[in-house]
Amino acid sequence: MAKFISVAQLKGGAGKSTVVTNLVAALSQEFHTGLIDADMPQGTSARWAAIRQTQQSNTPAFEVLTASSVNELALAAERLESECDVVVIDLPPRSLKYLREVLPYSDLVVMPLTASAADVWATEQLMEAIREGKRTSKRLKARLVWNRLRTSKATEQFLADTAGLLRAKELESRLGQRTAYVEALGRGLSVLEWSDAKASAEFAIFYQELKQQLKLD
Ligand SMILES: Nc1ncnc2c1ncn2[C@@H]1O[C@H](COP(=O)(O)OP(=O)(O)OP(=O)(O)O)[C@@H](O)[C@H]1O
Ligand SMILES: [Mg+2]
Protein backbone atom coordinates (compact mmCIF):
# COMPACT_ATOMS: atom_id res chain seq x y z
CA MET A 1 0.00 0.00 0.00
CA ALA A 2 1.57 3.24 -1.15
CA LYS A 3 1.85 6.38 0.93
CA PHE A 4 0.43 9.40 -0.88
CA ILE A 5 1.96 12.89 -0.88
CA SER A 6 -0.27 15.50 -2.51
CA VAL A 7 1.31 18.84 -3.41
CA ALA A 8 -1.37 21.50 -3.42
CA GLN A 9 -1.79 25.26 -3.60
CA LEU A 10 -4.72 27.18 -5.02
CA LYS A 11 -2.49 30.00 -6.17
CA GLY A 12 -0.69 29.31 -9.46
CA GLY A 13 3.10 29.38 -9.66
CA ALA A 14 3.79 28.83 -5.94
CA GLY A 15 6.16 25.95 -6.65
CA LYS A 16 4.02 22.79 -6.69
CA SER A 17 5.68 21.20 -9.72
CA THR A 18 9.13 22.23 -8.49
CA VAL A 19 8.53 20.46 -5.17
CA VAL A 20 6.96 17.44 -6.92
CA THR A 21 9.76 16.89 -9.45
CA ASN A 22 12.56 17.27 -6.92
CA LEU A 23 10.77 14.95 -4.52
CA VAL A 24 10.17 12.28 -7.14
CA ALA A 25 13.82 12.36 -8.19
CA ALA A 26 14.92 11.90 -4.56
CA LEU A 27 12.31 9.30 -3.59
CA SER A 28 12.95 7.16 -6.66
CA GLN A 29 16.53 6.57 -5.46
CA GLU A 30 15.16 4.75 -2.42
CA PHE A 31 11.59 3.66 -3.07
CA HIS A 32 9.36 2.38 -5.82
CA THR A 33 7.87 5.76 -6.66
CA GLY A 34 4.86 6.95 -8.62
CA LEU A 35 4.11 10.38 -10.04
CA ILE A 36 0.62 11.53 -10.98
CA ASP A 37 0.46 14.79 -12.89
CA ALA A 38 -3.11 15.98 -12.43
CA ASP A 39 -2.39 19.43 -13.88
CA MET A 40 -3.09 18.67 -17.51
CA PRO A 41 -2.70 19.90 -20.21
CA GLN A 42 0.04 22.04 -18.64
CA GLY A 43 1.77 18.83 -17.54
CA THR A 44 4.94 20.35 -16.07
CA SER A 45 5.83 17.27 -14.01
CA ALA A 46 4.93 14.83 -16.78
CA ARG A 47 7.13 16.74 -19.22
CA TRP A 48 9.98 16.83 -16.73
CA ALA A 49 9.56 13.06 -16.26
CA ALA A 50 9.58 12.46 -20.02
CA ILE A 51 12.90 14.30 -20.35
CA ARG A 52 14.33 12.55 -17.32
CA GLN A 53 13.36 9.09 -18.47
CA THR A 54 15.24 9.45 -21.76
CA GLN A 55 18.47 9.94 -19.78
CA GLN A 56 19.96 6.56 -18.85
CA SER A 57 22.10 8.09 -16.15
CA ASN A 58 18.99 9.21 -14.27
CA THR A 59 17.63 5.80 -13.49
CA PRO A 60 16.03 4.32 -11.42
CA ALA A 61 12.79 4.77 -13.22
CA PHE A 62 9.46 5.61 -11.61
CA GLU A 63 5.84 5.24 -12.66
CA VAL A 64 4.20 8.23 -14.36
CA LEU A 65 0.48 8.72 -14.95
CA THR A 66 -1.43 11.82 -15.99
CA ALA A 67 -5.01 12.70 -15.08
CA SER A 68 -7.21 15.18 -16.93
CA SER A 69 -10.29 14.76 -14.74
CA VAL A 70 -11.17 13.89 -11.17
CA ASN A 71 -12.23 10.43 -12.36
CA GLU A 72 -8.92 9.82 -14.07
CA LEU A 73 -7.14 10.95 -10.94
CA ALA A 74 -9.06 8.42 -8.84
CA LEU A 75 -8.21 5.64 -11.30
CA ALA A 76 -4.53 6.60 -11.42
CA ALA A 77 -4.29 6.63 -7.62
CA GLU A 78 -6.01 3.25 -7.40
CA ARG A 79 -3.58 1.77 -9.91
CA LEU A 80 -0.43 3.09 -8.25
CA GLU A 81 -1.55 2.33 -4.70
CA SER A 82 -0.69 -1.35 -5.00
CA GLU A 83 2.34 -0.92 -7.30
CA CYS A 84 4.33 1.72 -5.45
CA ASP A 85 5.79 2.46 -2.01
CA VAL A 86 5.11 6.16 -2.38
CA VAL A 87 3.11 8.27 -4.84
CA VAL A 88 3.47 12.04 -5.37
CA ILE A 89 0.55 13.96 -6.88
CA ASP A 90 0.97 17.31 -8.64
CA LEU A 91 -2.39 19.07 -8.28
CA PRO A 92 -3.68 21.88 -10.49
CA PRO A 93 -4.03 25.41 -9.07
CA ARG A 94 -7.48 26.91 -8.47
CA SER A 95 -9.18 23.54 -8.03
CA LEU A 96 -10.75 22.48 -4.75
CA LYS A 97 -12.45 19.65 -6.67
CA TYR A 98 -9.16 17.83 -7.28
CA LEU A 99 -7.96 18.53 -3.75
CA ARG A 100 -11.13 17.06 -2.24
CA GLU A 101 -10.67 13.93 -4.34
CA VAL A 102 -7.20 13.22 -2.92
CA LEU A 103 -7.71 14.24 0.73
CA PRO A 104 -9.31 10.94 1.88
CA TYR A 105 -6.23 8.91 0.90
CA SER A 106 -3.42 11.45 1.25
CA ASP A 107 -0.96 10.82 4.06
CA LEU A 108 0.60 14.25 3.66
CA VAL A 109 -0.41 17.41 1.82
CA VAL A 110 2.54 19.70 1.14
CA MET A 111 1.52 23.29 0.45
CA PRO A 112 4.23 25.48 -1.07
CA LEU A 113 3.75 29.19 -0.71
CA THR A 114 5.84 32.29 -1.29
CA ALA A 115 6.17 35.23 1.06
CA SER A 116 3.41 37.25 -0.60
CA ALA A 117 -0.02 38.30 0.59
CA ALA A 118 -1.62 36.70 -2.49
CA ASP A 119 -0.21 33.27 -1.61
CA VAL A 120 -1.23 33.66 2.01
CA TRP A 121 -4.84 34.53 1.07
CA ALA A 122 -5.01 31.52 -1.25
CA THR A 123 -3.65 29.32 1.55
CA GLU A 124 -6.45 30.41 3.92
CA GLN A 125 -8.96 28.87 1.51
CA LEU A 126 -6.83 25.78 1.08
CA MET A 127 -6.66 25.31 4.87
CA GLU A 128 -10.45 25.41 5.12
CA ALA A 129 -10.65 22.47 2.73
CA ILE A 130 -7.91 20.64 4.63
CA ARG A 131 -9.70 21.09 7.97
CA GLU A 132 -12.85 19.69 6.38
CA GLY A 133 -10.85 16.72 5.04
CA LYS A 134 -9.35 16.02 8.45
CA ARG A 135 -12.78 15.40 9.91
CA THR A 136 -13.05 12.21 7.86
CA SER A 137 -9.41 11.19 7.53
CA LYS A 138 -7.44 10.49 10.70
CA ARG A 139 -4.11 10.00 8.92
CA LEU A 140 -4.15 13.26 6.95
CA LYS A 141 -1.29 15.65 7.74
CA ALA A 142 -0.78 19.00 6.06
CA ARG A 143 2.38 21.11 6.10
CA LEU A 144 3.26 24.46 4.60
CA VAL A 145 6.64 24.93 2.98
CA TRP A 146 7.96 28.40 2.27
CA ASN A 147 9.35 28.61 -1.26
CA ARG A 148 11.33 31.20 -3.25
CA LEU A 149 12.48 32.87 -0.04
CA ARG A 150 15.01 35.68 -0.16
CA THR A 151 16.87 36.40 3.04
CA SER A 152 15.94 39.82 4.34
CA LYS A 153 14.59 41.37 7.50
CA ALA A 154 11.35 42.20 5.69
CA THR A 155 10.85 38.55 4.73
CA GLU A 156 11.53 37.33 8.29
CA GLN A 157 9.00 39.85 9.58
CA PHE A 158 6.45 38.73 6.96
CA LEU A 159 6.84 35.07 7.99
CA ALA A 160 6.54 35.92 11.67
CA ASP A 161 3.39 37.98 11.06
CA THR A 162 1.83 35.27 8.91
CA ALA A 163 2.59 32.18 11.01
CA GLY A 164 -0.33 32.58 13.42
CA LEU A 165 -2.82 33.78 10.82
CA LEU A 166 -2.87 30.61 8.76
CA ARG A 167 -3.40 28.17 11.63
CA ALA A 168 -1.28 25.69 9.69
CA LYS A 169 1.84 23.73 10.58
CA GLU A 170 5.01 24.64 8.73
CA LEU A 171 7.97 22.51 7.81
CA GLU A 172 11.14 23.81 9.44
CA SER A 173 13.02 23.57 6.17
CA ARG A 174 12.55 26.34 3.63
CA LEU A 175 13.41 26.64 -0.05
CA GLY A 176 15.18 29.73 -1.36
CA GLN A 177 14.84 31.73 -4.55
CA ARG A 178 17.49 30.03 -6.69
CA THR A 179 18.01 29.66 -10.42
CA ALA A 180 19.07 26.03 -9.81
CA TYR A 181 15.37 25.10 -9.43
CA VAL A 182 14.54 26.59 -12.82
CA GLU A 183 17.56 25.14 -14.61
CA ALA A 184 17.31 21.62 -13.17
CA LEU A 185 13.58 21.37 -13.98
CA GLY A 186 14.10 22.07 -17.69
CA ARG A 187 16.72 19.33 -17.93
CA GLY A 188 14.76 16.58 -16.22
CA LEU A 189 16.95 16.83 -13.13
CA SER A 190 16.58 17.68 -9.46
CA VAL A 191 18.64 20.27 -7.59
CA LEU A 192 20.30 17.34 -5.80
CA GLU A 193 21.87 16.56 -9.19
CA TRP A 194 22.68 20.18 -10.04
CA SER A 195 25.75 22.31 -9.45
CA ASP A 196 24.38 24.62 -6.75
CA ALA A 197 25.56 23.38 -3.38
CA LYS A 198 23.17 25.63 -1.42
CA ALA A 199 20.11 24.48 -3.35
CA SER A 200 21.16 20.88 -3.03
CA ALA A 201 21.79 21.18 0.72
CA GLU A 202 18.47 22.91 1.47
CA PHE A 203 16.52 20.40 -0.59
CA ALA A 204 18.28 17.48 1.14
CA ILE A 205 17.15 18.88 4.51
CA PHE A 206 13.58 19.34 3.20
CA TYR A 207 13.61 15.75 1.90
CA GLN A 208 14.76 14.32 5.24
CA GLU A 209 12.10 16.29 7.12
CA LEU A 210 9.45 15.08 4.75
CA LYS A 211 10.48 11.44 5.16
CA GLN A 212 10.29 11.86 8.93
CA GLN A 213 6.79 13.32 8.66
CA LEU A 214 5.74 10.31 6.61
CA LYS A 215 7.69 7.77 8.68
CA LEU A 216 9.24 6.58 5.43
CA ASP A 217 12.49 4.68 5.89
N1 LIG B 1 12.63 28.10 -5.24
C2 LIG B 1 12.57 28.58 -6.48
N3 LIG B 1 13.54 29.39 -6.96
C4 LIG B 1 13.48 29.88 -8.22
N5 LIG B 1 12.50 29.61 -9.08
C6 LIG B 1 11.51 28.81 -8.66
C7 LIG B 1 11.47 28.24 -7.36
N8 LIG B 1 10.35 27.49 -7.23
C9 LIG B 1 9.72 27.59 -8.41
N10 LIG B 1 10.40 28.36 -9.27
C11 LIG B 1 10.02 28.72 -10.65
O12 LIG B 1 8.76 29.37 -10.60
C13 LIG B 1 7.93 28.96 -11.68
C14 LIG B 1 6.65 28.35 -11.10
O15 LIG B 1 7.02 27.18 -10.37
P16 LIG B 1 6.18 25.84 -10.51
O17 LIG B 1 5.92 25.52 -11.94
O18 LIG B 1 6.87 24.80 -9.69
O19 LIG B 1 4.86 26.31 -9.78
P20 LIG B 1 3.42 25.61 -9.78
O21 LIG B 1 2.82 25.91 -8.45
O22 LIG B 1 3.54 24.19 -10.16
O23 LIG B 1 2.70 26.44 -10.94
P24 LIG B 1 1.26 26.09 -11.60
O25 LIG B 1 0.26 26.53 -10.59
O26 LIG B 1 1.26 26.91 -12.85
O27 LIG B 1 1.24 24.61 -11.84
C28 LIG B 1 8.76 27.99 -12.51
O29 LIG B 1 9.38 28.71 -13.54
C30 LIG B 1 9.79 27.48 -11.52
O31 LIG B 1 11.00 27.07 -12.15
MG1 LIG C 1 2.61 23.13 -11.71
Residues that place a CB less than 5 A from ion ligand 2: 16-17, 44
pLDDT along the chain (217 residues), means of 10: 96 97 97 98 97 79 96 98 97 95 97 94 93 93 96 90 86 97 96 96 98 92
- The pair phi, psi for residue 47, each rounded to 5°, is -70, -40
CA 136 to chain centre: 22
Out of 3.30.1360.170, 3.40.50.1370, 3.90.550.10, 3.40.50.300, which CATH number does the structure's domain 3-214 have? 3.40.50.300
Decide whether any atom of ligand 1 lies within 6 Å of the 44 Cβ: yes
Per-domain residue ranges for the chain? 3-214
Nearest residue to 9 via CA among 138, 96, 101, 117:
96
pLDDT for residue 162: 87
Burial degree of 71 (CB within 10 A; 0-12, 13-18, 19+): exposed
Please give the pLDDT value at position 161: 87
Q: What is the model's pTM?
A: 0.96
Atom of ligand 1 nearest to the CA of 39: 27
What is the number of the ligand 1 atom nearest to the C-alpha of 90? 22
Cis before 41? omega within 30? yes
Query: 74-90, pLDDT tens digit by residue?
Result: 999 999 999 999 999 99
Residue 68: partners with Cβ closer than 8 Å, 6 or more residues away: 40, 41
Residue nearest to atom 8 of ligand 1 (CA): 15
Main-chain dihedrals φ then ψ at residue 86, nearest 5 degrees: -150, 140
How far, in Å, is the centroid of ligand 1 from the Cα of 62?
22
Residues paired with residue 86 on neighbouring β-strands, in sequence order:
3, 33
Contact 14, 112 (CB under 8 A): yes
- The side-by-side arrangement of strands in the sheet containing 3-7 is 63-66, 33-37, 86-90, 3-7, 108-113, 141-146
Q: Is 23 in the pocket of ligand 1 (CB under 6 A)?
A: no
